[in-house]
Structure 1
């Protein structure tokens, strides 16, 4: 049976996670209590590695943990009487905290009483006044002796020295308290012996036995045969602990059947060890019991005292007073931080322990029950552990970029009325991890730069933001790709980027006529581990500058240095279209808007040039006095800043027909030549060829007219496709779109001192869309030349 009880006790202690020891009081500091490492199931070397330590609620640490040998030892002198007064059982409770695993073990140590106190009387001499008429067998209550020890070590009995008149009787009260009474065995005679001296001895049951003595002086008085009598043997009162000082708790009352001085009663509190004499005061005349100090339920829940009533001649009687202190909610909960973490990574999993703390309320009942809480909007929660321990743990994932620091308020509130609370602030820093890539404010960027820019010029500045911190937010920039053709130079030959600031620089001078835009892709990468990155596209638009002068396509410059000749009939009316100067500008926009001006003419008021069309028309009819050959100097100017221009010299021959112009031209003196006949022959052949070509030209013109009509139908149906063509691909003097008009006579004659040439320029037909590439200067497809004689 003993073994079975031992096993059941062990199982109970294991399930309750509690270890219990017993030690006698007054042991020396450092005395062995128990092998805590073995009882916890831990190796001795693990105690210090795991951070095991004692957590006590009291102000004194009565025990210490020896981590070298794993034993629990006495840390401070233990006085059982000071800790537990005369309680039957004296227990000291504390906890052992294993810091790394955050496990808590409850330890209970029972303090065993030793016989270290002797019984003693408060007064060394007790005085009794007994009337000589007192009846035999009358009992006289004596002062108690007090022994703070408990059990057999406490007060066990009294002895009275030998006497012919008195004997001693010992009574037992509740809780085993013994008190002596002096019994009159033989009648007293004041005249024979007015004073009797006795010795009262109190002894305990310890080993060895301790004792204390008090002298008793009995004064024999004249007859007073009635002692005061209390109205009730026990006075009880329940008092809240927060009653103010000086409050009257109750009134005791005793009556005496005697008359005169023998009936006058005075009240006294029987002095006992402890604080009752400092807390309460009894009015000796009125019997009012009042408080001298504030009551404290947490110090003492119950006060017991004796009140004595004494008449004028010394007869006395006693009654008990029981004062029960009622608890009020006057203590706020106490929160003790046992372990705390000041920093936690933002990727910590839910359930990570941040703080371990203990909550205690000195009040009792509902006043001592405590509820802990934190604000609901925090990503944390509280978990209750054993013995009023709580842990603060993470409830969900943290995000440092949203909240980098938390000031967590743990509120401990009791259930008293009104409730009292305590706020404890826990500061937590959320450590950053690289969980955010750099981000640009826009999904795509565009930048503009003038062509012909200087090398090394700053183009644009890109900035990416990384919400992480420190190294995780350190962003570097680089160029990764572009849409350049395969045969084009690498991107690094065009632009570069500062890896720290994100500023783009031009490494070359851009030419709008070669490339109008450049597609780049910029990568922003942080310095985290592993690094994160993001890309953004940048379109670099090249802005045009007026760096190209107009290029005259028609009239074409002869390759042999001679001037072309345009034909105008003598019968031409004012406004007759002689020819048209056609020019293009490689620039775009207003830099390509062209205007035409007549700078110089043989007859200034004979011809005019359209400002925007370049058409050369007659202003008036030809007169006989007008020269056969009119020289015009036309300037073509763009609208750039500053404007650029080109000039062309146009020769207009006034004649009604080609033979006429030829005869007019041949009438002028020509240098002599030995081959005049041969030149005449070639000229006749040339005229015949020109006639054939002219006929062919008329046929082709009709064919192209029909084809143009058919193409208009096709173009109208495909208008949507034409709308997507850049305006820069069309020839035009207004920079948008323009079409060349049809001229039915396009003949040029050139002459020099030795030979004459007749040119038929490439025909331009109405409504024919001319691209920039097709307008390049070409040699006339219908050349005809003959040698002319100096005469008809």
Structure 2
């Protein structure tokens, strides 16, 4: 709070020397004195005894006293010295206000002579009052767009003194914006006015502190101060200003909806409504305006829709900051979308061979594969591999194309069909992968002859078999397929005892079953050696042979034949001679018999059927 300097009325020193005015005796006996105000009580005013022509001690004797009404309290008689003195402190301004001439009149009575004298005392002004403003402070409000030269009336000061001791001049404290002018009116009074010398700028300086000094002409000079506060009223002369003309922010594409990307800020050096800043999105093409939201109050930029690096890697957002009356400024936000590994690689089979012949050389192309990852950088770097221990390789072609080729010759008989799994994996962290499956059929070629399970076979058939009886069945296997695995059987032409083999046995070309074409006689043919050929239907056909041994099993179809003793051809009974002296155990004869059968069927036993003398032989 601005305080004014307070000046106490200076105590006037008691004037020991009193200026006595010339005593003027009129017809009514008037006495005139002059005295300065503010003298101490008892200060000498005039030698009243001398003016009355009396000695001081005669004043009491003649009954001299002040008798007239009025302000007799201001003065008193000193009967001891015969002087007129002040009865108290005299304030001229209280007695006479601002009258130029201040006179105090009263009467003095000389009682024994019945004479009355008129006394007139002029109260002289001293500079005991400083100019004073009715208020200590003055606030003036000036708009910052006010033109130079505009005047603003100021408060006036009041000084109760008169003459040169009263208010004489005004002065303004030094400053760069204002000067002081005096307005003169018809009564001669002067009124101070504040003159604007140069344009104000509230944003540079909101308040100007001035001091108006009112001074009088006394000695010493007294003065009073009026503290002036000039408040510069805001005008909307400044648009909002962004802290940056261009904001840059980089954000990952997987930010949740509603996430605040950044906060823009614009300030307006104006105040009040002129400084109320609101933010708006400038018109933007396409879907950019649907992607972002700008809080008009806080300046927060947030996302309304999910960002997708693969859709757009960069956004330029234009924004405006507007104050209350409508001044605006612009800025732009550059949003860089950072890729995250949110896309798995894509695998496309551009060309595919569904089958490949076996024994094709290594490097035979199976498929042309294209891989693609919508991510970028390391997230979009894709490697492709064949899962499992498979006889296939991937060869890099142009761009993101790969050739799937055989790593070696294939063997359909080992694996006739491959379920190939290709896995494409990107370089993200964590990596994402995609698998695709290819079914490859191995085409058969006739690379395998029919094969018998044994290198040779043996078959057994009892003699006397019926014609057409099934003897044996040979089976060959061919690991090839379809016609390459279709087997036909045949017997190699041969002769047995000069007779064609085909008259003995036949073979079913489809089933490999052998049939007897005649009834075998063990005693004539004991075994047959056949060569069976199995041929596939390939082109060219392949074949293999196997030896089949057919053994004829003997049956007891022959009776023993006695060779000796032989029966007479003439129908007589054969006779063997033995001496009469033959002893027991004597060999009479030997019976020799044979059997054309074999084995047990040919084992012979002998017994006597009949004897003329039982017990003799």
Q: TM-score, normalised by structure 1?
A: 0.47
Q: Kindly tell me: are residues 367 and 335 of structure 1, through their superposed partners in 2, closer, same or farther at Cα, counting changes over 3 Å?
A: same
Paired position in structure 1 for 2:491: 479
Task: Choose which of 208, 227, 251 in structure 1 pairs with 2:263.
Answer: 251
Q: Compute the displacement of 1:462 (Å).
A: 1.0
CA distance, structure 1, for counterparts of residue 144 and residue 575 of structure 2: 178
How far apart are the structure 2 equivalents of 1:513 and 1:468? 44
Match of 2:243 in 1: 231
Structure 2 CA distance for partners of 1:493 and 1:583, relative to 1, 3 Å: same
Residue deviations 1:378-426, cap 9 Å, x none? 2222222222222222222122222222222222221111222222222
Quote the Cα distance in structure 2 between the aligned partners of 1:132 and 1:371. 71
Residues 8-23 of structure 1: matches in 2 within 5 Å? Answer: none
Cα distance in 2, alignment partners of residues 259 and 477 from structure 1: 113
Cα separation, partners in 2 of 1:600 and 1:132, compared to 1, 3 Å: same
Given candidates 408, 411, 435, the residue that maps to 1:396 is 408
> Superposition RMSD on alpha carbons, in Å?
2.4
Whole-Å Cα distance in 2 between the matches of residues 397 and 133 of structure 1? 96
Q: Secondary structure at the match of 1:537?
A: strand
**Structure 1 residue 222: deviation in Å?**
8.8
- Aligned 8 A contact 1:270 1:307 in 2: yes
Q: Aligned pair 1:309/2:321, yes or no?
A: yes
Please report how far the alpha carbon of residue 575 of structure 1 lies from its aligned counterpart in structure 2 after TM superposition.
Answer: 4.2
1:337 corresponds to: 349
CA shift digits 1:26-62 (9 cap, x unpaired): xxxxxxxxxxxxxxxxxxxxxxxxxxxxxxxxxxxxx
- Number of residue pairs aligned between Structure 1 and Structure 2: 391
Looking at structure 2, the residues matched to 247 and 329 of structure 1 have their Cα atoms a distance apart, in angstroms, of: 20
Alignment of 1:628-707 (within 5 A): none
How do 1:66-85 and structure 2 match up within 5 A? none
Kept in 2: contact 1:453–1:509 (CA 8 A): yes
Specify the alignment match of 1:449 in structure 2: 461
Distance between the aligned counterparts of 1:546 and 1:268, measured in 2? 123
SS in 2 for 1:425: strand
Give, in whole Å, the separation in 2 of the partners of 1:506 and 1:446: 15
Are 2:399 and 1:387 aligned? yes
SS at match of 2:606: strand
Q: Deviations for 1:630-665, whole angstroms, at most 9, x for unmatched residues?
A: xxxxxxxxxxxxxxxxxxxxxxxxxxxxxxxxxxxx
Q: Point out which structure has higher relative CO (alpha carbons under 8 A, 6+ apart).
A: 2
CA 1:132–1:407: 2 relative to 1, 3 Å: farther
User: Structure 2: where are the runs of 5+ without partners?
Assistant: 1-142, 148-198, 200-232
Cα distance in structure 2, aligned partners of 1:418 and 1:392 = 27
Provide the C-alpha distance between the structure 1 equivalents of 2:490 and 2:304, rounded to a whole number of angstroms. Answer: 85
Q: Is 1:556 the equivalent of 2:566?
A: yes
Confirm or deny: 8 A CA contact 1:134 1:225 kept in the other structure: no
Greater CA drift, 498-507 or 376-385: 376-385
The corresponding residue for 1:439 is 451
Which of 596, 606, 609 aligns to 2:606? It is 596
Structure 1 CA distance, aligned partners of 2:273 and 2:387?
73
1:417 alignment partner in structure 2: 429
Task: Map Cα deviations across residues 720-746 of structure 1 (whole Å, 9 max, x no partner).
Answer: xxxxxxxxxxxxxxxxxxxxxxxxxxx
SS of the residue corresponding to residue 227 of structure 1 reads coil
8 Å CA contact retained: 1:248, 1:291 = yes
CA gap of 1:527–1:570, structure 2 versus 1, over 3 A, is: same
For residues 280 and 146 of structure 2, the distance between their equivalents in structure 1, rounded to whole angstroms, comes to 23
In 1, are the aligned partners of 2:314 and 2:337 still within 8 Å (CA)? yes
**Contact kept? 2:235, 2:270, Cα under 8 Å:** no
Contact 2:493 2:502 in 1 (8 A): no
The Cα shift of 1:456 comes to: 1.5
Shift of residue 442 of structure 1?
Answer: 0.8
Kindly indicate whether the alpha-carbon contact (under 8 Å) linking 1:297 and 1:325 is maintained by their aligned counterparts in 2: yes
- Alpha-carbon shift at residue 363 of structure 1 (Å): 1.2
d(CA) in 2 for partners of 1:561 and 1:291?
137
Which protein shows a greater Rg?
A: 2
Q: Paired residue for 2:340, among 323, 328, 331?
A: 328
Match of 1:489? 499
TM-score by length of 2: 0.60
CA distance 1:594–1:472, change in 2 (3 Å): same
1:519 aligns with 2:521: no
Distance of 2:518 and 2:358 partners within structure 1: 47
In structure 2, the residue corresponding to 1:591 is in which secondary structure? helix
Contact 1:328 1:363 in 2 (8 A): yes
CA contact (8 A) 1:327 1:364 kept: yes
CA contact (8 A) 1:252 1:287 kept: yes
Q: Distance in 2 between matches of 1:317 and 1:133?
A: 21
How many angstroms apart in 1 are the aligned matches of 2:424 and 2:504? 68
The yes-or-no answer on 1:291 pairing with 2:303 is yes
Q: What's the CA shift for 1:314? A: 2.5
Distance 1:363 1:432 in 2: 44
For 1:419 and 1:134, locate their aligned partners in 2 and report how far apart those are by CA, in whole Å: 70
How far did 1:233 drift? 3.1
Q: Select which of 406, 427, 430 maps to 2:439.
A: 427
Residue 134 to residue 270, structure 1, CA distance change in 2 (3 Å): farther
Distance 1:272 1:515 in 2: 110
Give yes or no for contact 1:304–1:322 (8 Å, CA) kept in 2.
yes
- 1:114-193 alignment, distance < 5 Å: 133=145
Distance apart, 1:376 and its partner CA: 5.2
Match of 1:461 in 2: 473
1:427-459 CA-to-partner distances (Å, cap 9, x unmatched) read: 222222211111111110010001111112111
CA separation in 2, counterparts of 1:297 and 1:407?
Answer: 36
User: What CA distance in whole angstroms lies between the structure 1 residues aligned with 2:581 and 2:328?
Assistant: 169
Question: Which secondary structure does the structure 1 equivalent of 2:607 belong to?
Answer: strand
- CA distance in structure 2 between the partners assigned to 1:290 and 1:556 by the alignment: 134
For the Cα contact (< 8 Å) 2:468–2:517, is it kept in 1? Answer: yes
- 2:508 is the counterpart of 1:508: no
Who is 1:540 aligned against?
550
CA contact (8 A) 2:235 2:274 kept: no
The structure 1 residue matched to 2:594, chosen from 581, 584, 595, is 584
Structure 2 residue 363 is matched with structure 1 residue 351: yes
Superposed displacement of residue 573, structure 1? 4.2
Gaps of 5+ in 1: 1-130, 136-186, 188-220, 608-792
Partner of 1:370: 382
